[in-house]
Structures are given as C-alpha cells and as structure tokens.
Amino acid sequence: MHLLQNIFWWLAFLFCGIILQLYVPGLDALVVGIILVSLEKDYKTMVWLVPAVVILQEGMGSLSFGFSMFYIASFFLLYRLSQSIALASRLIFYLLVSIGMGALHSFYSWFFATLQNVPYDMNVVVHDGVLQTFYILVAWPILGRLRRLVAHDEKKAES
C-alpha cells in the first residue's frame, strides 16, 4: 500500500508541476522534486525521476532546448558543494540552494537563448530567475512537509 501511495504522490507532483509550468512560463516547477529526492537520499526514485523531469521539460518547450539537463546537473553540483553547509546551518543551505538555483536559471535562460540565437529580454530573464528563487523558497518547505507525511505513513506501515 505504501508503494502505491508513493507512486500516487509522485504522479500528483508531476501533474501539478506540469500544470503550474503551463500557467507560469519560464518557471521550472519540477526541480523541487529533485531537491526533495536528493535530501531524502531516495536513489531508487531518483533513477526514474531525473530522466522523467528532463524529458518532460524538454518536451513541454517552456524553457530553451537543453536547459533542463544543464540546470539539473548544476543543481547536483551546487548540492554537493553546499552539503557541508547543510551540516552547519540548515537555513543557510536552504537559502544558498534557492538563490543559487535562481541565479543559474537566469544564466541558463540567457546562455541558451544566446546560443540558439533566440531573441530575449534581459528583464524577463532576471524576472524568471527571481521567480524561480521565490518558487523554490516557498515550494521546498511545503512539499517537504507533504512528502514527510507520506514518508511517515510509509515507515508506519513498514513497522
């Protein structure tokens, strides 16, 4: 039963993320799922979630082509570099990852638009980066709590 609950949670997350990205162009709503899986160290889920997110991002076309692969790889690098900070202060880690991901979002938006010779407005690029930062700042704790409820129910069912 807990496996089914976990599957439904991730399907609901992906569905809601896709809907959110449909109505908020320039936002990567699915990266929070990768953040949660990384924090949980749930490598079985990570094996299918990361490729699924990359394929969904590239297929939706709300971001430049190639953006999601580099963005997710950059998250793993940022996560690895800031892991020692997580041991010292959870709040600083949380802020560093959120701000870093927002800055990387702006950089990759500009970089891939320039690389693909697509016209871009720098105000929109910066706005999208700030929006991404605030989205991660808000969604991470909310989805983390919801995820802990599901994970707590799984652990209760296993005992």
pLDDT digits (tens, 9 = 90+) for 9-38: 999 999 999 999 889 888 889 999 999 999
Identify residue 54 by its one-letter amino acid code: V
What is the sign of the dihedral through the CA atoms of 28, 64, 72 and 10?
positive
C-alpha to C-alpha distance for 102 and 149, rounded to whole angstroms: 27
Say whether pLDDT at 156 is over 60.
no
Say whether pLDDT at 123 is over 80.
yes
- CA-CA distances (angstroms) from residue 35 to 112, 122, 123, 129? 23, 27, 27, 17
Give 71-120 pLDDT, tens digit per residue: 999 999 988 888 877 676 788 888 899 999 999 999 998 998 888 888 88
Say whether pLDDT at 158 is over 90.
no
Contacts of 35 (CB under 8 A, 6+ apart): 75, 79, 97, 136, 140
Res 140: pLDDT:
92
Helices (H) and strands (E) in the chain, counts: 7, 0
Three-state secondary-structure class, residue 159: coil
Res 91: pLDDT:
84
Q: Cβ distance 30 to 7 under 8 Å?
A: no
Angle, CA of 82, 86 and 87, to the nearest 5° = 120
Q: How confident is the model at residue 2 (pLDDT cuts 50, 70, 90)?
A: confident
* Domain coordinates in residue numbering, the chain: 2-158
